[in-house]
A and B are shown apart, each in its own frame.
Chain A
Amino acid sequence: MREEFVARLIKFYIPLFIFLFVLLFPFYWMFITAFKSDMELYDLKLNPFLIHQPTFKNVIMLFKETLFNRWMLNTFFVSILATLLSLGASLLAAYAIQRLRFKTSGTIGISIFFSYLVPPTIIFIPLATIIFEVRLWDSLWSLVLVYPTFLIPFCTWLLMGYFKSIPKEMEECAMIDGASRFRVFWQIVVPLALPGILSAGIFAFTLSWNEFLYALVFISTTTQKTVPVGLITELVRGDVYHWGPLMTGALLASVPVALVYSFFVEHYVAGMTGALKE
């Protein structure tokens, strides 16, 4: 019994504890910095892992002296629109590829999948010239249009997996009863694929929220920035780092993603593993 416990300790509890400690430590560091005053932050005599005199100064500065509110709203705007656009396009595409099986549907499916592998670093320069020419420079709409390039491949692939699991017979029955293809899609397939749509939506939302490179390149006006870009470009000026507000901003900007994630964690994990296994 005792030996068993020791074995479990060495093989399980200790490694698990070390992993969790390392993975969570930066968050702790972020959290405590957010509630420290500058004086405390730069006092080398104090233990840096404790908050001695908690303060909300950083939060206040973030909201009063920067456009943090605005950046959050911008990010919401872009993430939600890009997610809806991608979900719509992916739903239709996934259904067509998986169920309609027309000529070249296989090729299109594979191409969409591979476009997921194309990293933004390869295409951001030509994209910048395109965005400039279509006069979307410095507009949030440029991001709404560009984000689907990395959302659609993922969502389509994930939804194809879901459509595969819906029995074909259900559709055939409905069609024999006189329902049109479109009606079958809208009234039978979409409701059945709802968990998949939810997973894809959560993924798309978090991916849009996290995007940095395109937002950094296409947007330059302070009022149009997304949260990640706003924090990096507006709170670091030359050699002056506002560590307190920076950490507070990082913490607060993580909240929407963390919330969405915590509510739908099962969907998230299912989506991630489902997409990998497909």
Chain B
Amino acid sequence: MGNEKNLAINPGKRLGQKWRWFSLLEDRTLLGIAFVAPAVVLLFAFLAYPLVLGIWLGFTNTVIGQKGDFIGLANYISLLQDQLFWKVTYFTFLYTIAAVLFKLILGFALAIVLNREFRAKGFVRAIVLLPWIIPTVLSAICFWWLFDTTFSGITWILMKVGLIAHKIDYLGDPTNARICIIVANIWRGIPFFTIGLLAGLQTINPTLYEAASIDGAGGWHRFRHITLPLVIPLLTVVTTFSTIWTFADFQLIWVITKGGPANATHVYGTLSFQRAIVGGQFGEGAAISVFILPVLIVCVLVTYKYLRREE
């Protein structure tokens, strides 16, 4: 330490200074590795390793509490021959596409509505985020109760107004249940899009809009040629994140329908839980989870491309 201080006072000592930079560089690498170690070790042990182990488990007939044997592609072959698996695949994609699309449109719309000065703006913004903040399981319980056939408040209003004559079987009918699940997901996801895109909208220079207005551009034109191009990068990231989260969803569906009725609302996440944890078939469950991987890889690539462009 004392030596270093000395060097700082006498910067003329070339040799000493060289030594000092060298030691600093050494220091840097060592210190750097020591600093990232805790994070890397945790992520490796409980994220990277399980990821690989999961792929391996998919090739085995492991059941709960027992070591399994390698059985090659048997899990995959039986899955691909299973009608139910295709049904689940169909709904996983339907769920993702429909929910993300609506979240995007509605979230963007709300961001545009909020992107202006008005009283209580901070307060409104805080309220808008609530569905995103409140634990999903807890809001899912609420939706579950709201979708009760006999006691739903929605049914009560619709009947009072005279729009429907009979009670709606929200979660007992496959199509209705699918719609309900998608609606609940949209409700929860709108705030993420809104707040994310609002941040992008606020960075747009208002003079751009003024200039466009002077040139006679209407509302749609301003949106199409100013707003959209400027928020597209952020829009891509927000959509990518939402896509992988929705595609790999579990809790919302597990709480509201548990995949029913007649397996109509199962997605990969809930099916693999049911096979692995409820049914004890770890190997088969792991194989189902592997089907989430391709979408994850696409999302990683899209994000990577975006990050690259930013640099």
Contacts and interface: CB of A to CB of B under 8 A. Distances in A.
Given A15-B109, A118-B47, A129 B282 contact: yes
Question: Which of B48, B106, B141, B148 has the most chain A CB atoms closer than 10 A to its own CB?
Answer: B141
B54 A126 contact: yes
Given A122-B293, A257-B134, A100 B28 contact: yes
Contacts of A212: 135-137, 250-251
A91 B150 CA distance: 52
B50 interface: yes
Nearest to B240: A117
B286 A126 contact: yes
A100 B129 CA distance: 36
Interface residues of A, number: 100
A193 interface: no
B95 interface: no
Interface of B: 1, 4-5, 8, 27-29, 31-33, 35-36, 38-40, 42-43, 45-51, 53-54, 57, 62, 65, 106, 109-110, 113-114, 116, 118, 122, 124-131, 133-139, 141-143, 145-146, 148, 150-151, 153, 156, 187, 190-191, 195-196, 198-200, 234, 237-238, 241, 244-245, 247-251, 255, 268-269, 272-273, 276-277, 282, 285-286, 289-290, 292-293, 296, 299-300, 303-304, 307
B138 A254 contact: yes
Nearest to A256: B135
Contacts of B153: 29, 48-49
A115 B36 CA distance: 15
Contact of A178 (B8, B28, B138, B142): B8
A272 to B, nearest CB: 6
A247 interface: yes
Interface string A215-229: 011000000000111
A118 B196 contact: no
Nearest to A209: B135
B146 A26 contact: yes
Contacts of A123: 47, 50-51, 54, 289
A197 to B, nearest CB: 15
29 contacts: A16-B114, A22-B187, A26-B146, A27-B130, A27-B142, A90-B39, A92-B35, A93-B40, A105-B36, A112-B40, A115-B43, A117-B299, A119-B247, A120-B250, A121-B248, A121-B268, A122-B289, A123-B51, A129-B62, A130-B53, A152-B43, A228-B251, A231-B138, A232-B255, A250-B139, A251-B138, A254-B134, A265-B125, A269-B125
- Interface of A: prevailing SS: helix
A148 interface: yes
Contact of A156 (B39, B50, B124, B234): B39
A277 B306 CA distance: 11
A118 B51 contact: yes
B39 to A, nearest CB: 4
A103 interface: yes
Contacts of A231: 137-138, 141
Given A24-B130, A122-B289, A127-B46, A12 B116 contact: yes
Nearest to A146: B46
B138 A108 contact: no
Please name the 7 residue pairs, one residue from A and one from B, whose CB atoms are nearest each other, closest first: A119-B248, A273-B199, A96-B35, A102-B32, A121-B269, A228-B137, A126-B53
B296 A119 contact: yes
B129 to A, nearest CB: 7
Interface of A: 11-12, 15-16, 19-20, 22-24, 26-27, 29-30, 33, 41-42, 44, 47-49, 85, 88-90, 92-93, 95-97, 100-103, 105, 108, 110, 112-115, 117-130, 132, 145-146, 148-149, 152-153, 156, 176-178, 180-182, 206, 209-210, 212-213, 216-217, 227-229, 231-232, 243, 246-247, 249-251, 253-254, 257-258, 261-262, 265-266, 268-269, 272-273, 276-277
Nearest to A210: B135
B5 A273 contact: no
Contacts of A30: 138-139, 142, 145
Given A92-B36, A125-B277, 10 more contacts: A110-B307, A115-B43, A117-B299, A126-B57, A128-B276, A129-B57, A210-B137, A217-B277, A231-B138, A277-B234
Contacts of A105: 32, 36
